Structure 1
Amino acid sequence: MATFTIKPGQFTLADLRSAWQAKSTLALDPTAYDAIDASSAAIARIVAKGDAAYGINTGFGKLAKTRIPDDQLELLQRNLILSHSVGTGDLIAENIVRLILLMKIGSLSRGFSGIRRSVIDAMIAVYNAGITPCIPVKGSVGASGDLSPLSHMTLALLGEGDVLVGGKLVAAKQALNDAGITPVVLAAKEGLALINGTQVSTALALNGLFLAERLLEAGTVSGAMSVDAAKGSDAPFDARIHAVRGQPGQIATANLYRTLLSGSVIRQSHLVDDERVQDPYCLRCQPQVMGACLDLINSAARTLLIEANAVTDNPLVFIETNEVISGGNFHAEPVAFAADTLALAIAEIGSISERRIALLIDASNSGLPPFLVPSSGLNSGFMIAHVTAAALASENKSLAHPASVDSLPTSANQEDHVSMATFAGRRLHDMAHNTAVIVGIELLAAAQGIDFHAPLVTSPKLAELHQRLRQQVSFYGEDRLFAPDIEAAKQMVLKGELSSNCQDVFNGLYLA
């Protein structure tokens, strides 16, 4: 297994994508330890001096004015973790937990959090041992940090609660013992440093980001196939049209459609005698819609990359002046806005895809057999598959409502404006799966349409992708159990299998 060395504050999106896709062994750049040690020493000096400092020797939130005796500071931190572990719902997926741990290690290692190197080393050991903390996905409002889910993460370090090892539920104490890891006893401020922060919200949003990238690629492929299936025009993808508008995503995606459709014999067959003047918007305006989605995806990526490298706990230690300063970096508003932006892109990729499915099954618009099946009437073909796509597109409209505009005061009105970033990021997973089904159905429908044009063939690029799809799902010649076909196409979308054969087309599309 490859080793990834964390250089605090220097994660790239490529690093985060790799962690999301597969586990590696972690190591921390040795140069980071000087700042870590200096920061924890500053906390020790504050405790020794005896001055009240929030989260170090005081209560939390509304209880910040309550002074805690020095001999109870370890108990204070332990109680914080136990009392804040109040999450509910399904467990966060293992690959997202990997992102949480990775970003939390990176943030704490920047030397502004006052946490000892032994705690950070324990986190790295847990990660490398394949121990996944059980973190319920619900229970954070995305301000004062992701307190509840990060508390569940921290429980594993204490040897409390349950973890997953090899996909099996194991008591954390037993898992640590089996891996030779000593449970952590938290010192002053360390519990607060671990649970303040936006790493859960950010990891959930990054999951949405990386899925959105795959949806954009698959939706572009399916849209290009639909153009050929419906004998649409490639004129709307002419570079000159997009250059005079100047929108970067639109220019980039128009180039994708030109590349994917280049050399289509189907297109050549109707260049002369096609009486249609313009195609419907779902074909003609793809660069304008998908390009805008690309711009939103890249905008969100910029915000999330900054946040992945950020120090977001509270209070922060500034060793140059030996100060501990309380602020609000735990407020996840930037993440909430980024997640809301991604929700718009994910919903629109599915929305325009659904419209192309509707076009293809309508014989009066597509020129193809009704519902894309021979002997329609006896066979219903793609009739109800489109209904599924319509249902999911409609569901995504509701889910796309911005979470960031909501707020509900907590902690006796001390924390009176919150971001709801955790839900904003969490709902992207469901939305992405909905859109993956829609695009998967379109892929099947467009491939069906292309088959009906035989012996005319589509472009070389699309023919290769069409063949790859047909290796998993055969031509729909008569009614059969359709759900497995749709699931197979959905998985191709989610796994990025359609674009993997033509990465030369998509290279450079996203932030690296």
Structure 2
Amino acid sequence: MYREITIPVTPLPAPGGIVHSDRMRTGEITIRLDGHTLRCADVAMAAAATGPLALEVSPYALRTAERAWRLAEDLSCHRTVYGRTTGVGANKDDTVQGEGSTEHGLRLLRSHAGAGGDRMPDGQVTAMMVIRLNQLLTGRSGISPTLIAALADALRAGSLPLVHRLGAIGTGDLTPLAETALALAGEHTWLRHPIPPVPVHAGDALAFMSSNAATLAEATLAALRLDTLTKASHAVAALSYVALGGNPEAYATPVHEARPHRGQVACAAEMRRMLGMEGTPAPGRRIQDPFGLRAFPQVQGPALDSVRYLREVLAVEINAGTENPMISTTHGNAYHHAHFHTAYVASALDQARATVHQVAELSAARLGDLVEPEFTGLRPFLAAGPAGSSGVMILEYVAHDALTELRQAALPVTLGTAVVSRGLEDHASFSTQAARAATAACAAYRQLLACELVAAVRALRMREADLGGLPAGAAYQRAAEVLDPDLADRPLTADIARAAEVLDSLATV
């Protein structure tokens, strides 16, 4: 029987997590795992923890997993079961004979733990372990209860195995999961809080590795960052709108009722809310604004839809039983399949990065408008010093550098493939690389939005704009509190960093 342990951790202000008010008062969070209800926000909470996790595992899920283990052991005595009674990959037809149950499993793990590259970030490793434990609790892997218990105990203890980044192509995170399983078996390095080793049986090795938990961990964390940044971009665009004297007609309800795409309608409604556009708002300075303002709902809408879809895909994946073979206690049989393939994840990540890149282009365009006197009525580059002062001229260079990185990160990974294992595995989704690219896209987009925010706040200060009690006014106050009011020519590095930090707060205005 598993017990609930509540360990104080720092709460994450992420929506949708399993957080209970009685524990929130003392700063304690419990993550409950049952194989079906893990949320993306729970994964983020786990990744943010730097020590033991408060974890509650469903007793019913444990019993289901144990029944699958007993069935798998029985089936292995009567029929061929891939990875249990055979080798793996192109060795699928090699029957395992005359070996102890532990040796076959350990040999598989040892051979697949040949990872490369840098260490995987600690938060991603913890998130990977939480996702893998939850997947195992769906009761379809046939893995031994001992190994499930060890993984749960490692999370409760705050244990962290040494895991490397390279070794997956979207058809199973074999190397990071093999390293994790070997650590549980006492044959691989723990970076902190090692737990006593447990035996690994013949059927445990492939069952533990047969998952994309590491890729899903990085994809989930990136998806939540993208979600936050796309929400924050409404506030940033609203501040630029005020600084540029935008035309409200572009956001009018009748306009978007004429082509009611979900994300586009939501973006226009959010801009109306941020800017207090009730009734008939005052006309703008121009009959037609530049695209950075005028086309924002049409370009932001696909990004909102794509990020939402990505989160929906990940919500399915982190609660899925993907092990090959699948052990079905309902049907009393083992099924060989291709759930290790993550085309849904790779495609959703590709789409999200591509649509966010388009929105980022508009941010760079608005920044260009903010340094143009024709649009602001202010001096070139929002300069405030003697003639020839550069003002925020350098922000465009920083922004376009970041935009170029984002453009590279937005290139689709689904156009490539791989043929491995002597031709038996002749396709790959590269969702692992798509998740890494999403992480890079988040960092680049954050810098780009920060540059726009620095310029917008500066322009509003110079115009002494009155935002009244508007939500956009609250966004301005939050940003103005952290940005240096000095308008003289000076390095803007600290301003960009502070603006990047305040974006998460702007997402909740």
TM-based fold match above 0.5: yes
- Equivalent of 1:208 in 222, 242, 252: 222
Give the corresponding residue for 2:119.
91
Q: Tell me by how many angstroms 1:458 deviates.
A: 5.8
Give the corresponding residue for 1:199.
213
2:389, 2:187 → 1: CA distance?
Answer: 57
Describe how 1:94-243 pairs up with structure 2 within 5 A.
Answer: 94-143=122-171, 145-165=172-192, 175-176=193-194, 181-243=195-257
1:253, 1:263 → 2: CA distance?
Answer: 13
Structure 2 residue 345 is matched with structure 1 residue 335 = yes
Q: Tell me by how many angstroms 1:87 deviates.
A: 2.2
Give the corresponding residue for 2:82.
54
1:111, 1:275 → 2: CA distance?
Answer: 62
For the Cα contact (< 8 Å) 1:201–1:421, is it kept in 2? yes
Q: What amino acid maps onto 1:311 in structure 2? A: G
2:320, 2:217 → 1: CA distance?
Answer: 13
Give the corresponding residue for 2:56.
27
Q: Tell me by how many angstroms 1:405 deviates.
A: 1.9
1:376, 1:239 → 2: CA distance?
Answer: 45
Higher relative contact order, chain-length normalized (CA < 8 Å, sep 6+): 1
Structure 2 residue 492 is matched with structure 1 residue 498 = no
Q: What amino acid maps onto 2:355 in structure 1? A: A
Question: How large is the RMSD of aligned CA atoms in angstroms?
Answer: 2.1
2:133, 2:410 → 1: CA distance?
Answer: 31
2:410, 2:277 → 1: CA distance?
Answer: 38
Going from structure 1 to structure 2, the CA distance change for 1:22 and 1:261 (only over 3 Å counts) comes to farther
Q: What amino acid maps onto 1:351 in structure 2? A: E
Q: Deviations over 1:213-245 (max 9, x none)?
A: 111012111100000011112221111111121
- Equivalent of 1:344 in 336, 354, 369: 354
For the Cα contact (< 8 Å) 1:403–1:424, is it kept in 2? yes
Describe how 1:264-413 pairs up with structure 2 within 5 A.
Answer: 271=282, 276-375=286-385, 377-413=387-423
SS in structure 1 of the partner of residue 401 of structure 2: helix
Query: TM-score w.r.t. structure 1 length?
Result: 0.89
Q: Tell me by how many angstroms 1:337 deviates.
A: 0.8
2:164, 2:265 → 1: CA distance?
Answer: 42
2:273, 2:139 → 1: CA distance?
Answer: 48
For the Cα contact (< 8 Å) 1:304–1:338, is it kept in 2? no
SS in structure 2 of the partner of residue 245 of structure 1: coil
1:455, 1:103 → 2: CA distance?
Answer: 48
- Equivalent of 1:255 in 269, 273, 297: 269
Q: What amino acid maps onto 1:56 in structure 2? A: R
Query: TM-score w.r.t. structure 2 length?
Result: 0.89
Number of aligned residue pairs: 479
Q: Tell me by how many angstroms 1:209 deviates.
A: 0.7
Unaligned runs of 5+ in 2: 1-7, 9-28
- Equivalent of 1:41 in 56, 70, 84: 70
2:441, 2:468 → 1: CA distance?
Answer: 31
| Structure 1 residue ranges (4+ consecutive) displaced by more than 6 angstroms after TM superposition | none
For the Cα contact (< 8 Å) 2:229–2:507, is it kept in 1? no
For the Cα contact (< 8 Å) 2:65–2:139, is it kept in 1? yes
For the Cα contact (< 8 Å) 1:263–1:460, is it kept in 2? no
Give the corresponding residue for 2:23.
none
- Equivalent of 1:4 in 26, 31, 37: 31
Q: Deviations over 1:312-367 (max 9, x none)?
A: 11111122443222111001111111111221133223221111111101223332
Percent of paired sites with the same residue: 26
1:320, 1:70 → 2: CA distance?
Answer: 31
2:457, 2:217 → 1: CA distance?
Answer: 35
SS in structure 2 of the partner of residue 222 of structure 1: helix
Q: Tell me by how many angstroms 1:67 deviates.
A: 1.4
Q: Tell me by how many angstroms 1:310 deviates.
A: 0.8
2:446, 2:355 → 1: CA distance?
Answer: 13
Q: Tell me by how many angstroms 1:371 deviates.
A: 0.8
Q: What amino acid maps onto 2:176 in structure 1? A: P
Q: Deviations over 1:280-307 (max 9, x none)?
A: 1100111111122101111111111111
For the Cα contact (< 8 Å) 2:350–2:414, is it kept in 1? yes
2:173, 2:378 → 1: CA distance?
Answer: 52
